Chains A and B, each alone.
Chain A
Amino acid sequence: EAGVAQSPRYKIIEKRQSVAFWCNPISGHATLYWYQQILGQGPKLLIQFQNNGVVDDSQLPKDRFSAERLKGVDSTLKIQPAKLEDSAVYLCASSSGTISYEQYFGPGTRLTVT
């Protein structure tokens, strides 16, 4: 069974530029999560989708971050414009239901904002 795929693996941009990350979850997994992991900290949930609907986006900075999962499969997370403090690893995870301990994580995208 293929795991959660993410791309790109690394991205370097200048502040005020925009960037997008892509995630393809495990086939059949209805729930998809985006996390932000700042160096030295644990992952923080940004947004959770159930199929193509948003379940929780309470910690998503909506003035600059957006995410979509149009067909209930893959998802994109966008930052526009980026700030220095957005430098982090962005993790995508998926699960087959709403019980969170069944989450499977992708390798992450490391973003550096200069």
Chain B
Amino acid sequence: GDSVTQMEGPVTLSEEAFLTINCTYTATGYPSLFWYVQYPGEGLQLLLKATKADDKGSNKGFEATYRKETTSFHLEKGSVQVSDSAVYFCALSANSGGSNYKLTFGKGTLLTVNP
């Protein structure tokens, strides 16, 4: 079945440091890939997405590139801020029959950014 494996946390960085959170996936067919973010006390929010190989998703300074050859979708940010502290989830969407698309999530990575 489909699965997502992401870097285990927690990750602790100082403000303005470079961030990478690794994500790899296993899926049949050609999934779409996503990063969701969950700020403390809030629901999940879509951070960025890529729907085909070599696409780059970007939002709020975060980027991730869909790499089909390595089945990866690593999240990066050049300079993190305290406000980026949250849990980050990598996810994939694959067709599970007919027009039904099913999201499969990784376990999440807790990021803490210190001033």
Contact = CB atoms under 8 A, between A and B. Distances in A.
A25 interface: no
A106 B43 contact: yes
B89 A56 contact: no
B27 interface: no
Interface in B79-114: 89, 91, 93, 96, 99-108
A3 B42 CA distance: 11
B101 A42 contact: no
Given A105-B43, A105-B45, A108-B43, A42 B91 contact: yes
A48 interface: yes
A91 interface: yes
Contacts of A101: 32, 34, 46, 49, 51, 93, 101, 103
Given A100-B93, A105-B43, A107-B42, A42 B102 contact: no
B23 to A, nearest CB: 11
Interface residues of A, number: 22
Interface residues of B, number: 25
Interface in A59-78: none
B21 interface: no
A44 B108 CA distance: 12
B44 A105 contact: yes
Of all A-B residue pairs in the complex, the 6 with the closest CB atoms, nearest first, are A42-B105, A105-B43, A100-B101, A105-B44, A100-B93, A107-B43
Interface of B: 4, 32, 34, 41-46, 49, 51, 89, 91, 93, 96, 99-108
14 contacts: A41-B108, A42-B89, A42-B105, A45-B102, A48-B100, A55-B100, A98-B99, A98-B100, A100-B101, A101-B103, A103-B103, A107-B41, A107-B43, A108-B43
